[in-house]
Structure 1
């Protein structure tokens, strides 16, 4: 009898240990599953946060007019190359319309030129202007505001006459904008011109024009001499020295004549 009770006690003890072991094992597995769930949830939250960051508009607020010019002059010059609008005009309008990037439309909507919704289907902001709570376009980045400004002027017939003007004639461009109805302020042209001259914004027009002329000159290989030309003036025009121009054309003197064809760019054989 004692032997039977001993065996029974040992069996009960082993069963109890096995049960506790299985319970402990299940608890460990449950904790692991919870850790995985928590880890996956944190990853999903991170992805959502990153997505929201991507969709958040980029707003840069300049400290001064000079900062504004430094920040956006390259964009204005690029727009001039693509659409023919003087960079000086674009920058002056941006400064005036946006309050140097500090106005509500620019700080909340990246709208630097006060362009209203019209046929716009994108994001928008409502702001008091000529009337209460008018609809204005909202951009994810200020560069799109500059592009929309270029498209606004080039795609509307009332501004077509502006593009017959010289690209460096900022005064006539300023007056032409007012005449075409861009702004109701009677002093709008004077304000633009004042900004352009105070901050020498015309230098950006000159840079773009000079770069375009250099690219055009690079394509020219021959030049026909006209009245008033000298070997020196031609050499300067094509970024050559007089000696290089003489060598290209087999000249021993500086004498040239009207109608004479001169090589102004070395051929591949000269290298």
Structure 2
């Protein structure tokens, strides 16, 4: 009888102990979730590590205005992101007006489904070599892979890196930094968008909302990277037996992409006697 009573008491103590642990675990779990929600609502400082590694232009601290989503309208989108667009203009030379217009168009003024779930304001797909977070979204095809960012600032920075690091956009940086019309048509020419009216849409947004004022502010403040278009020597090369685009590009010290763009080539195939335009920057 005594053994039975002792067994019952030990069992009861064990059950009580387990219940306490479960309750503690539940409390801890709720606290953890609450802290996570609280952290997401706080103003966060952007880490310098990524920005330093990708251009030596450290992102500014978040003033807190980037967390107010969804954005009500296009005007509020502009007020929210004009400052970061100007920062990127100073760092990489892309007109703030172009960055803002592309953001408005690609993200639906910050209200698009893709932007809301990924902070991707420019519809940049994963592409080969992307090692960051990603998500899937229906675009030209179902379930395409898009880059995902933990903060909108990273999307604006990645947009700058995307344009400045690819050879097909290199010629854009020969334009004046405040010549938004040339940039708009140049983006279409370089294949940024398949929409034939993409340049007109960007220009219409820039002129409707006076976005070029943000370019002027940066230029007036003395942006030293704003420059006149480069001057070039233009001549021709006649294709001979054994010539390849790669060999010609090495000979004249220009990229294959640049050769194809200048001559509007759709493939790397050449014909003997074919005349190629060559363009080289004049020495200073």
TM bracket (short chain): 0.5 to 0.7
Q: Is the 8 A contact 2:90 2:223 kept in 1?
A: no
Match of 2:207 in 1: 197
Match of 1:182 in 2: 192
Alignment partner of 1:145 is 2:130? no
SS at match of 1:212: coil
State the TM-score, normalizing by the size of structure 2: 0.59
Q: How large is the RMSD of aligned CA atoms in angstroms?
A: 3.0
Length, aligned pairs only: 187
1:54 positional shift: 4.0
Match of 1:46 in 2: 31
Aligned partners of 2:20 and 2:212: how far apart in 1? Answer: 64
Considering only CA atoms, is the larger Rg found in Structure 1 or Structure 2? 1
Match of 2:138 in 1: 128
SS at match of 2:221: helix
Alignment partner of 1:74 is 2:83? yes
1:203 positional shift: 0.2
1:160 positional shift: 0.5
Matches within 5 A, 1:75-114: 75-114=84-123
Match of 2:258 in 1: none
1:51 positional shift: 3.8
Aligned partners of 2:39 and 2:32: how far apart in 1? Answer: 11
Mark the CA change 1:94 to 1:38 in structure 2 (over 3 Å): closer, same or farther.
same
- The gaps in structure 1 that reach 5 residues or longer are 1-26, 215-271
Aligned partners of 1:187 and 1:37: how far apart in 2? Answer: 61
- The gaps in structure 2 that reach 5 residues or longer are 1-12, 42-65, 225-284
Deviates more, 1:109-118 or 1:45-54: 45-54
Greater share of helix:
1
Runs of 4+ with deviation above 3 angstroms:
34-45, 51-59
